[in-house]
Chains A and B, each alone.
Chain A
Amino acid sequence: MLTYFLLFAAFLLLAVRFFKLLRLKRRNLSAAEIDQHLHRLLNEKRNQP
């Protein structure tokens, strides 16, 4: 019984991983978006570093 439970846990892990990666694929973040994100981080809340 414990064997099946552990296999189910492994399956859950795999499923979570699959859906996480699928979500990231759908989001399809481009390098330009990453660049924009970085600029926003470095320039928000203040006018000078």
Chain B
Amino acid sequence: MKKRIGVQFRKTRKTKHAFERIQACKRCHTYHVLWDTHCETCRRAYTPVREVSAAVTRRYVQTRFLLLGLFVCLAILCATTLTEIAIAIGVGLLFVCLFFVIQKKYGSYEKDAQLQTFFSQEEEALKKSFLYHLEQVGADVKAGQIKEAYEKTREIGYFVDSDTIKIRKIMFLNHFVLRKDMELELETLIPSTYDKDFMEYLREVVKVQPSLVKKAVLDYVRRYKAQILLLENGEQLIGQVAGAALRMRAYVEEYQDLIIEFIDYLPRERLLRLAKMIRDHRNENWEQLYHFAKNRVDTHFAFDPDFKGVL
């Protein structure tokens, strides 16, 4: 078994949407998703990508306004009679006012649409920046700075949804001692195929943060049950995962088969929880679960005072 190291992860920024994490260096025309505030090449402060896109929109609106002004001015200059001058000035003022009213009322919608277009236009630059971040990760790994490598990969992972990124993160995480107070992830790391390193990580996570076991994880375990059973202590691992599923009634209902199959590997405290859940939900078609749970309790915990009278 390899030696794990104790680390304290850098707090990740909380944002409602992933794109809010992107920062741009206007001078170098690069993008950045890590925690630095200044560009390492030109030392200029990064600007949030929304602001950069808003500036593009602002310039576009200004150009349209100037064009409108130009037409109105030319119309005034080309007027040959006083009536024409008066009409040109009046209509011109009306148009300018209308322009401002329209802009004020609907301008915000244009900003959002422009942001989407902006991302499409900057696709290559964004990909290049992510590639650069991945090169930084590679350099960190070579330098033995696994913590930095993980933190950087975690930030990239908010944007790039690939097995490569997930497996890299899992491999980095398997170098660390996991603790309750850590900001750990599980659902976002599930690879599309069976992965042994992920199972090793899952084994550790279930011990410290069982609340991270959700539907996607349970589905994964159910799908690759045969492979997991080939692992050392595979039954115990599925038992722990099944135990974590006992947090919610909906999971108990949906994963009854898994719980029943690995009921012998449920830790005592989880079995007690299951017994209490069955007692509280007697009328919910849990007869089979009741039967197996009762059997396990009678066999192993018949004299345990905590189980007395529960089932």
Contact, CB under 8 Å: B106 / A22: yes
Contact code string A22-44 (vs B, CB < 8 Å = 1, else 0):
10110111111111011101110
State which of B126-134, B219-227, B289-297 sits at the interface with chain A.
Answer: B126-134
Interface range, A side:
35 or more
Q: Tell me the total A-B contact number using a CB cutoff of 8 A.
A: 126
Neighbouring A residues of B84 by C-beta, 8 Å? 3-4
Contact, CB under 8 Å: A14 / B18: no
Contact, CB under 8 Å: B106 / A32: no
Contact, CB under 8 Å: A3 / B87: yes
Neighbouring A residues of B113 by C-beta, 8 Å? 24, 27, 29
Considering the chains assembled together, what is the distance between the CA atoms of A42 and B158 in angstroms? 11
A46 to B: closest C-beta gap in Å: 8
Interface range, B side:
35 or more
Tell yes or no: B19 within 8 A of A by CB. Answer: yes
A30 to B: closest C-beta gap in Å: 8
Contact code string B87-131 (vs A, CB < 8 Å = 1, else 0):
110011001001100110111011011011001100100110011
Considering the chains assembled together, what is the distance between the CA atoms of A42 and B129 in angstroms? 11
Contact, CB under 8 Å: B95 / A10: yes
Contact, CB under 8 Å: B99 / A34: no
State which of B162-170, B172-180, B274-282, B299-307 sits at the interface with chain A.
Answer: B162-170
Neighbouring A residues of B123 by C-beta, 8 Å? 41-42
Known contacts A10-B92, A31-B17, A34-B17; A49/B160 CB under 8 A: yes
Residue of A nearest to B53 (CB): A34
Tell yes or no: B64 within 8 A of A by CB. Answer: yes
Neighbouring A residues of B164 by C-beta, 8 Å? 47-48
Neighbouring A residues of B162 by C-beta, 8 Å? 43, 47-49
Neighbouring B residues of A43 by C-beta, 8 Å? 160-162
Considering the chains assembled together, what is the distance between the CA atoms of A33 and B109 in angstroms? 13
Contact, CB under 8 Å: A38 / B109: no
Considering the chains assembled together, what is the distance between the CA atoms of A38 and B110 in angstroms? 17
Contact, CB under 8 Å: A35 / B75: no
Neighbouring A residues of B105 by C-beta, 8 Å? 21
Contact, CB under 8 Å: B109 / A25: yes
By a beta-carbon cutoff of 8 Å, the part of chain B in contact with chain A is 16-19, 64, 67-68, 71-72, 74-76, 78-80, 84, 87-88, 91-92, 95, 98-99, 102-103, 105-107, 109-110, 112-113, 115-116, 119-120, 123, 126-127, 130-131, 134, 156, 159-165
Offer 10 A-B interface pairs, CB within 8 angstroms, sorted by A. Answer: A2-B75, A4-B84, A6-B71, A14-B95, A24-B113, A29-B109, A29-B112, A34-B116, A37-B116, A49-B131
